[in-house]
Every structure is written in structure tokens, then in C-alpha cells.
Amino acid sequence: MDVFSNQRKAKKTCVVTGGAGFLGSHLTDRLLAAGHRVIAIDNLLTGNVRNIEHLAGNADYRFIEHDVTNFIYLPGEVDFVFHFASPASPFDYLEFPIPTLKVGALGTHNTLGLAKAKGASFLIASTSEVYGDPLIHPQKEDYWGNVNPIGPRGVYDEAKRFAEAMTMAYHRFHRLDTKIVRIFNTYGPRMRLEDGRVVPAFIGQALNEEPLTVFGDGSQTRSFCYVSDLIEGIFRLSTADTHEPVNIGNPSEMTIKQFGEAIIEKTGASSQMVFKELPEDDPRVRQPDITRARAVLGWEPIVGFDEGIAKTISYFKTFLGMEEQA
């Protein structure tokens, strides 16, 4: 029986793995807003039902707790598979190195198999980490990267590089309609406060009047894209006539030290920055070249840093029960 057997086929059915995660839950909201139905799959290793509790009772939404490194069985028709399941922060993939490799390899194989069996289109959430510690700047999609395959970060970098290779193999051999999005640093509501990424780490520390932990001297750069911009780019890519990887991110670049100073200012914290040793293979620069996204998708980010970071700080104040102090 079809998961949505009581509904008409007029709506498209989308599967979102990692559907209870930061990006997966926002993607789910965008797909539902577009009039689609969504089957979200998540084993809740790093996802959280709090991210999807607002969808309870939605007739167009189903949640399945399942590990996609195991065989996926879904009755009925599926039109699109979005594979977003994976630990995505350094803290997570260093704590769960083997599950990270498995979801990039076995999980990608299983979700591609599901798409093939259903005659569905497929989109893989890849990452700017496929570029490693890049030797060119900014990073274009035709750059092959500078990755240490046996370093501690290699479990994530190589899992995503393998996932891209598997996706292209299914496209070339099985003629599957596939898309690859390379996601650059993204921030916004529903990030986990403790996931180790710099945005929630700095905001959480500042709101608690704790020192901001900067790794290295803070001169390494990142480019921060607000989540609604990223999701819009991914949504457009899902129906675009392209199969090559597409960078989605904000090319506005700042150093980690500059970012820390901005967080202190915008939270009104009295925090100082403390500097610790830079982790192995931490990239020195990160900035997307979005020429392809502009040309193919007609997309570029529209949410400015001030607006996006204000919304994110507000979310974490609510999460920490601090709204009365806002």
C-alpha cells in the first residue's frame, strides 16, 4: 500500500533522508510549501524530532525512523529522492567516523537504488569539504580538491567524494536523473547548539558570557550562507537540467576572528576570544565560486549577514529560554 494511499497522485512525493536534521527539515518545509508530499527518513543520530514537531498532523508528511545504510523499502510511487543523511559537523563525524563513511557509501547506494527502482530523480547533498584545504581560491566546481584521505577529516571528505562518484556512476550507467549540490557553510535556526560548528558555538558562548573558542589565530576564512537562501538554491537545482556539481553558498568571505567580533557585538556580550591549536587539516580558506549557480539556476543569496545572524541569535535565545532578556 502506498504511504499516501488515501491521497490523489496530483502531488509529487519526495523522500528526504536526514529529514530531522538542520538542512533536511528546512528542505522538507520548502517542499511542502511547494505543494509536494514528503516522506522523511532519519535514524536520529544527529537529527532531532524537535526540528519536525511543527509538522505533526500534516497529511502530506510522514516520518520514518530508519538507518539508510540498511535497505530502504517504501511502497507506492516516489518522484524525488533527496539524500541529506550524514553527520555534518567536525564534532559529529569525528565522534561517528564509521557511520559517516557508511552513510556516504552504503546510504548513497541504497538511496540511489531506491530512486532507480521508483524511476525517481535524485539529489545528493555534497559539501565544500570535497575541496579539502584548497589550493585555489575561490573554489570552482572543476577544481578536484586537496584532501588528505587518511586524516581525521577524511572520513567526511572522502565519504562525500565517494557519494559524488557513485551518483555520477548511476547517472552514466543507469541514466538516472541525478543532481549534486556542494553546500558551503550554512547557518540558521535548528542548528544544534553543541554540534561544534562555529556559528552555534560562538553564539552559544556569547549568550552565556563565555569566552569564544577560536582555533588557530582566527585568520582562516569562511563564507556564511543563510539557510533559506541555501534551500532555495537546492530547490531550484532539483528541477534544473544539469547533472554536474553546483556550488551553493554565499561568496561573502570573512575571517573567523571577524566573525567572532561580529557575534560579540550583536549579542552585546562581554566575552573575549581565546585561541587554541588549529585542528589537523582544517581548511585555511573557504569561498564558493557561484558562477554556475547564477547561470544555471538564476540563483544567488539575498539574505544579508546582519539579517540572517539576527534571526539565528533570536532562535538560540529562544532555545536557551532567554527571550525575556532579548
CATH code of 39's domain? 3.40.50.720
Would 33 be classed as within a structural domain? yes
Complete DSSP assignment for 247-303: EES---EEEHHHHHHHHHHHHT----EEEEPPPTT--S---B--HHHHHHH-----S
pLDDT at 319 over 50: yes
* Better-predicted residue by pLDDT, 90 or 289: 289
pLDDT at 1 over 60: no
Mean pLDDT over residues 289-313, rounded?
98
Mean pLDDT over residues 49-73, rounded?
98
pLDDT at 173 over 60: yes
pLDDT at 8 over 60: no
**Structure confidence at residue 7 (pLDDT):** 53
Confidence of residue 271 (pLDDT cuts 50, 70, 90): very high
DSSP state of 194: T
**Structure confidence at residue 281 (pLDDT):** 77
**Structure confidence at residue 283 (pLDDT):** 87
pLDDT at 323 over 90: no
pLDDT at 55 over 50: yes
Query: Cβ distance 30 to 54 under 8 Å?
Result: no
**Structure confidence at residue 9 (pLDDT):** 62
Would 267 be classed as within a structural domain? no
Mean pLDDT over residues 277-289, rounded?
89
Q: Which residues are catalytic?
A: 156
pLDDT at 326 over 60: no
- Look at the chain and report how many structural domains it folds into: 1
pLDDT at 103 over 80: yes
β-strands 61-65, 37-42: how paired? parallel
- Residue 29: which domain range? 13-187+227-248
Mean pLDDT over residues 243-260, rounded?
96
Instruction: Name residue 197's amino acid.
Output: R
CA 65 to chain centroid, in Å, comes to 19
Task: At 6, list the grid cell.
Answer: 488515501
Would 37 be classed as within a structural domain? yes
**Structure confidence at residue 279 (pLDDT):** 84
Mean pLDDT over residues 108-125, rounded?
98
* Mean pLDDT of the residues in the chain: 94
Over pLDDT 70: what percentage of the chain?
96
Residues belonging to the chain: 326
The kind and range of the H/E element at 246 are strand 245-248
145, with CB counted inside 10 A (0-12, 13-18, 19+), is middle
Query: Cβ distance 112 to 69 under 8 Å?
Result: no
- Neighbouring residues of 33: CB distance < 8 A, sequence distance ≥ 6: none
* Better-predicted residue by pLDDT, 22 or 195: 22
Would 52 be classed as within a structural domain? yes
Would 221 be classed as within a structural domain? no
pTM of the model: 0.94
Would 314 be classed as within a structural domain? no
Percentage helix, strand, coil for the chain under 3-state DSSP, each rounded to 5: 40, 20, 40
Would 311 be classed as within a structural domain? no
261, with CB counted inside 10 A (0-12, 13-18, 19+), is middle
Over pLDDT 90: what percentage of the chain?
89
Would 179 be classed as within a structural domain? yes
**Structure confidence at residue 5 (pLDDT):** 56
The per-residue pLDDT for range 253-262, each reduced to its tens digit, is 999 999 999 9
Nearest to 176 by CA among 258, 93, 114: 114
Cα separation, 13 vs 258, in Å, equals: 43
Mean pLDDT over residues 218-238, rounded?
96
